[in-house]
């Protein structure tokens, strides 16, 4: 019998073990036999192995060599293991054909310390992705799904929702993990838009403008954006320059960025 695995703090490992939550995640994903599912950070396979009952194969991305050895020891032919850093991984290599039915479905219980960089990395491959289901720190899920006027609404909400639909699915308590994290978690669904509802002429300008606005979120737009736009320019989009950044919807920010 193999020795007990000890989680590594540097990888932010908290392994899911609650069978009720595992089944809830699978129900949310509704996996189909032909789906191309990619799991980020499979850990000891608490979600991976139950998923193999539904799909013909599963790609998993795991940086920890010790975990890779344990997964390999279980000798599941359907499990294709990529021992790489997810932030360096080219996801387009996993789409087997350009057929939209073969788009990737990404899942994962993401370490809290890299969850935002991972999501932004995946946005670069959004044309290859059908949807993403992630377990994240609840606070991050609240930000990803927030709408204007909500205290959690900010740069992360806007930049992810510009490219994707986001939906809060359910809460997960620390007891579902080993070791239990010090924070609550939640599961969300992120679905790239087929067609962007609002089109920025330059998404980099949008990112720059949103970053500038929310670095001074308590100020009015007039003051927060004074290095980029005048009050008169802001007014041309129909937006009151006396509003605060968290009161502006994504369409508003897109219209403002298109003035740059």
Question: What domains lie within the chain, and their CATH numbers?
Answer: 10-192 (3.40.50.150), 203-257 (1.10.8.100)
Q: β-strands 129-137, 185-192: how paired?
A: antiparallel
Q: Which of 12-16, 160-164, 172-176 has the lowest mean pLDDT?
A: 12-16
Mean pLDDT of the chain: 91
Give the mean model confidence (pLDDT) for residues 69-80: 85
HEC assignment per residue over 142-196: HHHCCCCCCCCCCHHHHHHHHHEEEEEEEEECHHHEECCCCCCEEEEEEEECCCC
What is the tens place of the pLDDT at every residue in 195-217?
Answer: 999 999 999 999 999 999 999 88
Question: Cα 256 to the chain's mean position, in Å?
Answer: 26
Q: What is the pTM of this model?
A: 0.91
Give the mean model confidence (pLDDT) for residues 247-253: 97
Give the mean model confidence (pLDDT) for residues 20-49: 94
């Amino acid at each position: 019998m193999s020795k007990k695995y000890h989680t590594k703090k540097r990888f932010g490992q908290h392994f899911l073990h609650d069978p009720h939550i595992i089944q809830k995640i699978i129900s949310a994903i509704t996996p189909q036999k032909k789906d191309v599912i990619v799991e980020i950070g499979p850990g000891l396979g608490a979600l991976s192995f139950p998923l193999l009952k539904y799909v013909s194969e599963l790609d998993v991305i795991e940086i920890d060599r010790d975990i890779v050895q344990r997964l390999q020891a279980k000798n599941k032919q359907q499990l294709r293991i990529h021992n790489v850093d997810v932030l360096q991984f080219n996801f387009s290599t996993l789409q087997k054909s350009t057929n939209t039915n073969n788009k990737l479905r990404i899942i994962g219980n993401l370490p809290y310390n890299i969850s935002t960089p991972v999501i932004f990395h995946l946005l670069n491959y959004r044309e290859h992705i059908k949807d993403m289901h992630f377990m994240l720190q609840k606070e991050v899920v609240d930000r990803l799904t927030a709408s204007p006027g909500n205290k959690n609404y900010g740069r992360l909400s806007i930049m992810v929702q510009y490219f994707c639909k986001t939906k809060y699915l359910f809460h997960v308590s620390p007891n579902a993990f080993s070791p239990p994290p010090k924070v609550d978690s939640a599961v969300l669904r992120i679905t790239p838009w087929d067609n962007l509802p609002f089109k920025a002429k330059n998404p980099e300008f949008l990112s720059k403008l949103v970053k500038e606005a929310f670095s001074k979120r308590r100020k009015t737009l007039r003051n927060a954006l004074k290095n980029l736009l005048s009050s008169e320019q802001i007014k041309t989009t129909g937006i009151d320059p006396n509003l605060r950044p968290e009161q502006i919807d994504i369409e508003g920010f897109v219209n403002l960025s298109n003035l740059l």
